[in-house]
Structure 1
Amino acid sequence: MENYDLIIRPKRHAFDINFRELWQYRDLLYMFVKRDVITVYKQTILGPIWFVVQPILTTAIYILVFGNIAKISTDGVPGTLFYLAGIVLWNYFAESFNTTSKTFKDNADIFGKVYFPRLIMPLAKVTAGLIKFGIQFAFFMAVYAYYLISGEATIQPNIYILLLPLLILLMAMFGLGAGLIFTSLTTKYRDLTFLLQFGVQLLMYATPVIYPLSTIPDGKMKTLIMANPITPLMESFKYAFLGAGQFSWTSLAYSVAFAVVLLTAGMVVFHKTERNFIDTV
């Protein structure tokens, strides 16, 4: 009997996910992450500086429109810090969701030619997004340190800053889980791709990114916003660094449970779709 280095077996059911195989292909994951980062920087003059320019311009627009014109409260926090805090965390989720939602469509050629665990590709997108997040978060911390040292504003950092790794992990899980479900659906329903940008933008307005939760009066609207599992993460982040916002262990536990269910569902749907998606893409 011949000895083979690799034996490819058909997946028996939707829950037949080989996590050990994902670990064996960790070098490929690293290569895809490196490729994605280099592709972003390639043929640009400013390189990674663009990752800082984007939140600066977005913050300036939010200050003008929502701060000066709409006069929306920022809970006593300087508008620059308040909007940056929301933008930095939200951008990581949106980036993860947008990039993973195109997995099957953008990689149909390579998926049809060579075998490797398909889940490696969306995992690489989410991991590469951490680099962009890291640059934007470093910029946020520089602005944060300025206000903290100068004393120009009342900022009350607290022990909940230690929850930052958990908040980032949960954002990655939300982006990955939602992206896996979306890319699986678009193999049959291409019309969904036209709703992606609109849907993400709509979800942002349903999340306290540009406004504090305290400005929403009690009622159906606040209930709907609180039902958004990303809301506790955004509020926890602002509360930890700025001392503004609301923090609740119950709400955070709700987000954790929702993220686990969403990611599990996403992986199952993705795994089921990958077996025959090449026939429909």
Structure 2
Amino acid sequence: MRAFVFPGQGSQKVGMGTQLAAASSAAREVFEEVDEALDLNLSVIMAEGPEDQLTLTENAQPAIMANAIATLRVLENDFGVKLAETGSCVAGHSLGEYTALCAVGAFDLATTARLLKLRGQAMQAAVPVGEGAMAALLGADITKATALAEAAAEGEVCEVANDNDPGQVVISGHKGAIERAVALVKEYGIKRGVLLPVSAPFHCSLMQLAADRMAEALAETPPGTLALPLYANVTAAKVTDPAEEQSLLVQQVTGRVRWRESVAAMHAEGVEHFVELGGKVLSPMIRKIAGEAEATSLLSMEDLEGFASTL
């Protein structure tokens, strides 16, 4: 069994998608459609920067999605490899869950781009800049990270945001609480705490206003039928019902990204090959979670050609 997986925020970089766009009309059409949907030359920002514009949450989220969907379209149109025929399920990390839904036909490309632009704007607006923070805990498992977060909270919000792999957990919340947590890591047997260069405290209860905005948006443009099952971030469980997934996308804004558990669940169901489209962020995590499974990253035309030749 094979799972196709899609990266989240942090995987963006200036120059993304340029090789694919130069080599394939299928990729160019994706970038053009996203530009039109957003009424923004996002493809130029992706290709040329400036970096600070690309890293803005409202730009980074649709850009990462567009790059991954362009990679998928090239795989399908130029190499004849259809996701619905060669995959057993899909999953995505945070915003990558929207990309996964686009990949299986639950959202069209323009809708996905607009939802992610709104999601980025809503998440940024939910907490004033400087009030929230996030930190990566290296050498931490979920038990240690949870204990640390509870100790550091002191009446403020300090919650596990991402359970990425057996040795990396991300916490999110009020800036003071996150800074206290970083200072306490050694006391909880955690190797290191690193403050992340993010503009808002994602995936914690401080994001409730953003969740409310996404609930309204998703009520107007709900997901449709999924061509393949999806493993949802907030449950780490298989979803096939669009109405259930609509609710889970709202919960995802404030909820924990259970990536480690999601990969473990897919592997337990028989997935032996994970294929990451448009990034090289998830594959190292997958190898730590399900070491005996194969993890492949597809970014370039050479990557796609090599993968297609193995099928």
Higher radius of gyration, 1 or 2: 1
Q: TM-score, normalised by structure 1?
A: 0.28
- Structure richer in helix, relative to its length: 1
Q: TM-score, normalised by structure 2?
A: 0.26
Q: Larger relative contact order (C-alpha < 8 A, sep ≥ 6)?
A: 1
- Structure richer in strand, relative to its length: 2
